[in-house]
Structure 1
Amino acid sequence: MPVQLSKSLAFALAFSTIAGAGVALAAGSHSGGHGHGPAIGEPGDGAAADRTIEVVMSDNYFEPEHLTIAAGETVRFVVKNDGEFLHEFNLGTAAMHATHQKEMATMMEHGMITPTGIDHEKMQMDHGGHGMEHDDANSVLVEPGATKELVWRFTADTHLEFACNIPGHYEAGMMGEIDVTKPAGSGS
């Protein structure tokens, strides 16, 4: 139990340091700006899902921490937030997550997200001529106690991450690895 308390404390400190830093970032369109394509895959059809993976988020970790998925596989992720804070489940490369973290910090600065939730009214507002909705097909925001689904088709064998990009969360260790492998029997 003391280890969990220490991790929670480290998580809270990382979050408050980044959230309270007043980072000034240019507002940009949050929706659709993550470069989906063959490198990370595409939105999937839930009716065609090859399997379902349950992912539990808490305030400093994901369970499971590592996934192996075959290229061409469509996966339905059922993502539950067992923590006290707002969390995100986002599929992408490390570079995509770094870019997305800046967008999430802007959303926090505008009050669209808070440490514990989403201000749906502010999500709909114009923020300096830029739309800032969190509606990317490769990502879901999950409030404490809630469960959401994300369906994704992994199109190429590559190395990806799943991560929470709420300010301070990735830095506190809220990320996991996804190895997308060649399908069995592909021979090459």
Structure 2
Amino acid sequence: MGNMDMGTPAATDMGDMAVDDGEISEEETERLMAGQMAGLIITDDGPFDREISLSMSEWTFSDLDIEAQPGERIRFTLRNDGETLHEFMFMSMAGMQGVNYRARRADWSLLEHVALYEKSLMLPGEEITFVAEVLRPGGWMFMCMLPYHMQMGMMGQIATPGMAMDM
């Protein structure tokens, strides 16, 4: 599926995650455990209930509010239809609150976040595919966290009924 960075502070390629004996890496295990706790797991493939095409460009996504049902598996095809480099990540609402707090600090670093899923650099025209499994009711943010992209509007959400935030 290409070079997909997963949501760990030290992201790795998917190709580096599997070891020869069929076990998953420690980083992948930590990412999946974080997803279990947050109620949303992202995988590279597998069965799905519906498919969503999502486009990113300057300075938005084609859909900013996606409703999902607990237990649903959604296959996303995400494409950078913009003319500039972008990033894509899913974060829990609690993770976003941590980013909002740290963003106000003078010593904040863009590396100070824990994402449930992250593709750190998407060139114009690049496309990725993944499956999001909604484990339980909740809400999760997706965004581009390159400097000022999120503040200019590159932020959306996937939420179960009654769990969406006013944005």
TM tier, shorter chain?
0.5 to 0.7
1:104 Cα deviation after fit: 7.1
Superposition map of 1:45-124 within 5 A: 46-97=45-96, 98-99=98-99, 105-106=110-111
1:95 Cα deviation after fit: 3.8
Contact 1:59 1:85 in 2 (8 A): yes
1:74 Cα deviation after fit: 1.0
Structure 1, residues 31-81: CA drift from partner, whole Å, max 9, x if none?
357632232311346331111110000010001111001111111110010
* 1:157 corresponds to: 137
1:171 Cα deviation after fit: 1.2
More strand by share: 2
Percent identity, please.
26
Provide structure 2 residue ranges, at least 5 long, that are not aligned to the other structure.
1-7, 12-26, 163-167
Contact 1:57 1:80 in 2 (8 A): yes
2: CA distance between counterparts of 1:180 and 1:47? 21
Provide structure 1 residue ranges, at least 5 long, that are not aligned to the other structure.
1-27, 108-135, 183-188
Larger RCO (alpha carbons 8 Å, 6+ apart): 1
1:145 maps onto 2:144 in alignment: no
Contact 1:38 1:156 in 2 (8 A): no
2: CA distance between counterparts of 1:178 and 1:172? 19
TM-score between both structures, scaled by the size of structure 2? 0.63
Distance 1:49 1:43, change over 3 A: same
1:174 paired residue among 145, 154, 163? 154
- Pairwise CA RMSD of aligned residues? 3.2
Does the residue aligned with 2:38 lie in a helix, a strand or coil? coil
2: CA distance between counterparts of 1:72 and 1:179? 12
Amino acid at match of 1:70: Q
Contact 1:52 1:76 in 2 (8 A): yes
Contact 1:55 1:79 in 2 (8 A): yes
Structure 1, residues 121-156: CA drift from partner, whole Å, max 9, x if none?
xxxxxxxxxxxxxxx662224211111112111111
Does the residue aligned with 1:172 lie in a helix, a strand or coil? coil
Distance 1:49 1:149, change over 3 A: same
2: CA distance between counterparts of 1:81 and 1:51? 21
Larger Rg: 1
Contact 2:77 2:130 in 1 (8 A): yes
2: CA distance between counterparts of 1:104 and 1:37? 26
TM-score between both structures, scaled by the size of structure 1? 0.57
Distance 1:45 1:82, change over 3 A: closer
1:83 Cα deviation after fit: 0.8
2: CA distance between counterparts of 1:96 and 1:84? 29
